[in-house]
Structure 1
Amino acid sequence: MNARPLAFANVRLLDPASGYDGPGAVIVTEGVIADVVRGAGPGKLSADIEVIDGQGKLLIPGLIDIRVKTGEPGAEPKETLKSAARAAAAGGVTSMVVQPDTLPVADDPSVVDFILRRARDIELVNVYPAGAATKGCEGKRMAEIGLMRDAGCLYVTDADRPIVDSKVFQRVLAYARSFGVPVAHRPADPWLSAGAAATAGEFASRMGLPSVPVIAEKIGLERDLALAELTRARLIVDQVTTAAALESLKRAKDKGLDVKATTSINHLSFNEIDIGDYRTFCKLDPPLRSEDDRLAVIEAVASGLIDVIVSAHAPAPAEDKRLPYDEAAPGAVGLQTLLPALLTLHHEGHVKLIDLIRTVTSAPADLLGLPAGRLAKGARADLVLVDPNAPVIVDADKLISKSKNSPFDGRRLQGKVLRTLVDGRTVYSA
């Protein structure tokens, strides 16, 4: 905790949970928000309060990123929990949910407990584990969902691997529902997707890349939604990236199914043409889509059809990326570029700022029941002070993550994190 109470004065408060966007101040005491003052300044403060003049900059709740990969345990050269936490703090991410496809896989309570204990030792940002839906993320036998829930996992998922066996997936959904645990699942037809490095179309054909048709996402999603309706489970659709799948998602939500959807900041910021001359930093899973799909997904964010935006942080060392395109590892780091990329979308006029910030604050908090994501008296003091207009040119070599595989390398973004607080402690300052 800070030795002294803090007051952020002369700031623009943006709180999607309450819908407020305007001038104000926030006072932090003993790790929580002691008061939120809207409009005029906080008035006369006692001498023991440290006052930070925000100079009109943006003060928002700390970001919540619910899809982050690390290498720990088992592949620490890619990323450790500590290096990921440091990158998160620099990016304004105060809470992150780490994926279970580690070595060993987080498919039992002992690995979940290990991650929670390591995060407490690091004392930077809030780290929560997701548990594996099936043993070893192999899609064959159900993992210990109830025990992992009791140990502290927030949802279950097999990460990048779709559960092919519909009977197994039905059991996972039904069992998770009995414990109130959401299931996150990547919508993809596994046979159409096998070996794909790009999205099928003229561009992939010209580049000679093995590709997957966009209908593979819709086919996978239709099956998942049918089983979610059958079991009445809570389903998180993991990274919707195509216009075709959005039609299925809307129909399911209109029917009242308990379905939420995410998309990645990468698929909002890039299209298949950004692969350029076989740029492996732009090889992602799911692969980058057409410009029409990108614009459709942005519109789905603006309308609220897509609930949450994730960084899809997936570190890969240079030796896994400096290969022929179809052999290179997919994935990109994204913890530090998530917020400036979101702000750039706002500056380009695609989505209202409050709606963008909602997708990384109150929306994921409400989805997973986290005590974060809002500027309110008594709330946890996870805060980010941001200059939304500051230009940022991304230099991948200077990113804090151990791996430097960023598709944003060299791109000009707009929005700079000035200060990040977790539980009232300053964990990053520019």
Structure 2
Amino acid sequence: MMDLDIDVSYLARRYVWESGAVDDLKTIYEAGFAANFSKEWHANYYRAVEDVHTLSEAEWKHPRFQMRLWDMDEVANIGLGRSVNVSSAASDPTVVDALWEVKNLELPVVAEQRARQLDLAFEQIMRLVHPKHNVRRPSARLVRIFAVMFPRDVLCLLDDRRIQALRRYLKMPVQRGLGLIGNHVVIRDELRREIGESTDLKIDIRHSMFAWYLWERVIEPMGEVELPEAPLAATPQPPERTATDRPHVVLLPPAQPRKGMFFVADNLSLLLSILRAAEGGIGRDEMIAAIMAEAPQLKANSAGQVLSQAVTLGLLTVDSGTYRPTEAGTALLEGENPANILAKVFLRNIYGFAILLDELRRAEGPVTKSAMIDVVRACRPSWTSERAPNMLIKWASTLGLIRDSEAGGIELTEDGDYWASGLPDDPAALEAMRGPAATSWGCR
């Protein structure tokens, strides 16, 4: 007799792997999601939205409720975003009045028009809060506020990486001209077409929660690579109680990652050129010639290294000698933030990259490049020159994860903070990340 106790999310992922097609979302929604539906999260989420929309103007603008509005963990949990303190914004009359006006906007019926209007509203509030109330953009907190103010249009996915991954999963084209909130609106509209219209607030919230389910149980696992040994985080992490803005980063044991990553001038632009050349399929010799034409300073051997790099980073696939862009490569070509595509690969597969971000997240201010090179080299005694750690710094800068500080040295960017927040906090895990030789050589 057939066993009907089936993990529908597993079947969904398997179908994607084998066919490359978008799953029957309605089946996943009605079976897999329903079986894993959190009544507690739904009730808390519903209550938060109800409060936002039923309180009187005086109650809504009261500092106590405004503090709650910026800290609604019952909707989505903020990890990295919690460090962006904007408590002073809760008592700023300009911010409070602007939020009230935005909440009461009359939105167009057409999704694309709503998307543009809410994008503008989001940036309007952001300009009032940043940098006045914090030098860092409270993006996750503000997305969460928009999710409760506009529960029919904004999902509980708090960061651009997740919303873009959902867009790609739904086979939607790049939404040029739309920002983070605008993408929420058009993606939400597509979800309704796939799984059915919403008839009330409870279903609106259910649809939002389903977007998180898709991310956590279907989309994110599809991106995981089969590893030869258990990663550092060997114990499987339980599903999140609610949505979160913290990225899930899996690290290989120190002996397994590549020992650095080759870097040439304008490396990212060169990778994009390679991807464009491969869109219709291209052989190795033609590709090497194309690389050397794009970067005449490279010899054939170096051009071959760049080609291998594109494959290693998961941007190209090769079948019977023909190179073509992967889904990640296509996303990069379409204009996706390079950090969204490549940061996770670098953290997992390139030794020293996680150490670099970890050191910068724990530093009290900018760190000089020479000091950072010394720290990374101390963790890998076989690196007798600065070449490998210096290339890590160049890659981190190219991906927009670090920047030169006005005060001198380097520091994390907003994207860098985001990815560093996914690294382990446990001292033992941090030591394991550095490797057995690290302690004796002074790598902290």
TM-score by length of 2: 0.28
TM-score by length of 1: 0.29
Pick the structure with more strand per residue. Answer: 1
Larger RCO of the pair (alpha carbons < 8 Å, separation 6+) = 1
